[in-house]
Amino acid sequence: MSLLIVGARGVDALTINEALVDPAGTDTGNEWIELYNETCDAVDLSGYDLNAAGDYYTFPVFTLDPHSFITVHWRADGIDTTTDLYTGTVNFDTNMGNTSGSLSLFNDGVHSKNTIVDFVQYGAGGQSWEAAAIDAGIWTLDDAVTIGGSGESFGLSTDGQDGNVSTDWSVFTTLSPGALNNDSVTPPSCATPTPAPTATPTPTPTNTPTPTITPSPSPTITPSPTPTTAPSVTPTPTVAEPSVKITSYPKAVDFEKTFTIKGDVKNLDPSTQYYLKFEASPDGSTWYQGKTLGADGETMLSWNSGWSSYPTITTNPSGNAGFKIMAAMKLGESEQNYQVRVKVHPVEGSSNYYSDHKTIAAKFTLDVDPNEKPDVDNTVQTVTEELIVDAKKHDIGTLVRVTGIVTADLELLGSKAFYIEDDTAGVKVLVANPEGLKVKLGQKVTLLGELGEGFNELYIKVADKSGMNIAQNSTVRKPVGVQTGGVNEAKEGSLVIVSGRVTKTSGDT
């Protein structure tokens, strides 16, 4: 995750060393990110940007001494010191994601693969700035650090030793902001070596020669030099960084109603075609709430649709272009503010570019006469419970009710997800807001949710724990034995134990 240049150690050996993203109790004001300078040189952090939860904290004039820590207190007010800095709360309105997110450090106010110097994502892949970190060679696609529970931090197992992989990180129950994560490892000494003494030779006496008379030379006239013109200095051209900017957007919208987003891109590759995607997030960590009108002018595309379906723009010879896309906010669980952005992806290539973030308030549409008393909606109460195998046959978006035994704990096989199974099939359960939800392996769960699909896997999405009835008794299901050839779509979501003959190995297996 850190970039080290031999012979020029300094800013590139600065690491994100430890973070607390889910404090015990209240999150606001209690989250923090620790940086560590593992080198023997002071690092000037003035003007660096630290990104978390979609916001950017710009470092004031500040120098971090060798083998020293600085703790940035996120969305907190306080007085800056040599060991602690505070982002404040005026321009920061989002806490870090409790279950997934990313932390990015840039050495400039322009954010790109050329300025990102450190990166870590946790909980799940695909977080903000993952693509730039991959392009910079400081992260791997979909790699993510496993984090602990509330009140536990995650940090480098050995302070400053960052190989840009998730296995470098550990969960800590004892927090250590401003101190070593592993005090059993002593940082290397920065002592200056003492130079070896140089021997002084004893002088050898020499004979004094007899002086000779040198005749005085005849004077000569030295011609005046011809003046020369000083060479002109050619300035090094400044390479402008790529940028994506939203210039027009609505401040408030109705869920599922289309609206227009306008903006421009600058300094991308010239005469190149790019896809455009609208993204929205309730917390700045997961960006799946936006929809984009596809290139066919009819289909509203969800966040995980294939790139080839999205609208495109083509840059001019200078790498610039304007854009206008039709977008919508996916139906949410409550009316609230969402962070939004536009993602730009080359038709041929892998680099992603992101716009600045804007805030849009999304609300439910009122389609009835406000003076008319609405009928009670009994839709939820009239959904008939059915077997999981039958529930999975419905159209996407259908409300279903099922009962099953928990076969994989919450967050074990996916962010905000667990698995249940009955005697007919298994299915993934995706919880929009898992706060306060406690499910254990073997518990019987009855739930009501909307059938969905993502990455070719069916799931049932529920709003929160209120949409579930969890029995206290438990019966752990035994996995079904199958041969390798029997692992197919019919077994999706089911707990199985696979047996077969080894035909090929990889790595150390």
Write the DSSP symbol of residue 60: -
Q: Cα–Cα distance between 473 and 418 in angstroms, integer?
A: 18
Tell me the three state secondary structure of residue 308: helix
Could you tell me the two tokens for 345?
């992806």
pLDDT value at residue 279: 93
- Residue 32, strand partner residues: 20, 73
| DSSP line for 181-216 | S-TTSPPPP-PPPPPPPPPPPPPPP-PPPPP-PPPP
Tell me the three state secondary structure of residue 276: strand
Give the number of other Cβ atoms within 10 Å of residue 50's Cβ.
Answer: 22
Q: What is the H or E stretch that residue 65 is in? A: none
- Average per-residue pLDDT in the chain? 82
The DSSP bridge pattern shows strands 417-421 and 353-354 to be unpaired
Tell me the three state secondary structure of residue 133: helix
Write out the E strands in 388-456. Answer: 399-408, 417-421, 426-431, 443-454
358-395: burial string, b at 16+ Cβ within 10 Å, e else: bebebeeeeeeeeeeeeeeeeeeeeeeebebeebbeee
pLDDT value at residue 155: 94
Tell me the three state secondary structure of residue 242: coil
Q: Find out whether 447 and 462 touch, Cβ atoms under 8 Å.
A: yes
Q: Find out whether 296 and 289 touch, Cβ atoms under 8 Å.
A: no
The separation between the first and the last C-alpha atoms of the chain, rounded to the nearest angstrom, is: 26
- Taking only the tens place, the pLDDT of each residue in 247-261 is 989 999 988 889 999
- Consecutive sets of 10 residues in the chain, 509 residues long: mean pLDDT of each? 33 82 93 93 93 90 93 95 93 89 93 94 92 93 93 92 91 93 72 58 57 57 59 61 91 90 93 94 84 89 85 92 92 84 89 91 61 39 82 88 90 86 91 86 89 82 85 70 62 68 59
- Taking only the tens place, the pLDDT of each residue in 26-36 is 999 999 999 99
pLDDT value at residue 203: 59
3-state helix, strand, coil in the chain (%, to 5): 5, 35, 60
Give the number of other Cβ atoms within 10 Å of residue 243's Cβ.
Answer: 18
pLDDT value at residue 192: 61
Q: Cα–Cα distance between 82 and 85 in angstroms, integer?
A: 8
130 backbone dihedrals φ, ψ, rounded to 5°: -60, -45
Q: Find out whether 71 and 132 touch, Cβ atoms under 8 Å.
A: no
pLDDT value at residue 238: 58
Q: Cα–Cα distance between 353 and 244 in angstroms, integer?
A: 7
Instruction: Give Cβ neighbours of residue 348 (< 8 Å, ≥ 6 apart).
Output: 273
pLDDT value at residue 412: 83
| DSSP line for 158-184 | STT---SSGGGEEEESS--TTS-S-TT
| DSSP line for 320-370 | -EEEEEEEEEPP-SS-EEEEEEEEEEESSS---EE---EEEEEE----S-T
pLDDT value at residue 509: 46
Q: Find out whether 5 and 12 touch, Cβ atoms under 8 Å.
A: yes
pLDDT value at residue 484: 65
| DSSP line for 356-367 | --EEEEEE----
- Residue 177, strand partner residues: none
Report CA Rg, the chain.
31
Could you tell me the two tokens for 443?
């518990």
Q: Mind listing the domains of the chain with CATH numbers? A: 11-172 (2.60.40.1260), 243-363 (2.60.40.10), 388-499 (2.40.50.200)
pLDDT value at residue 188: 66
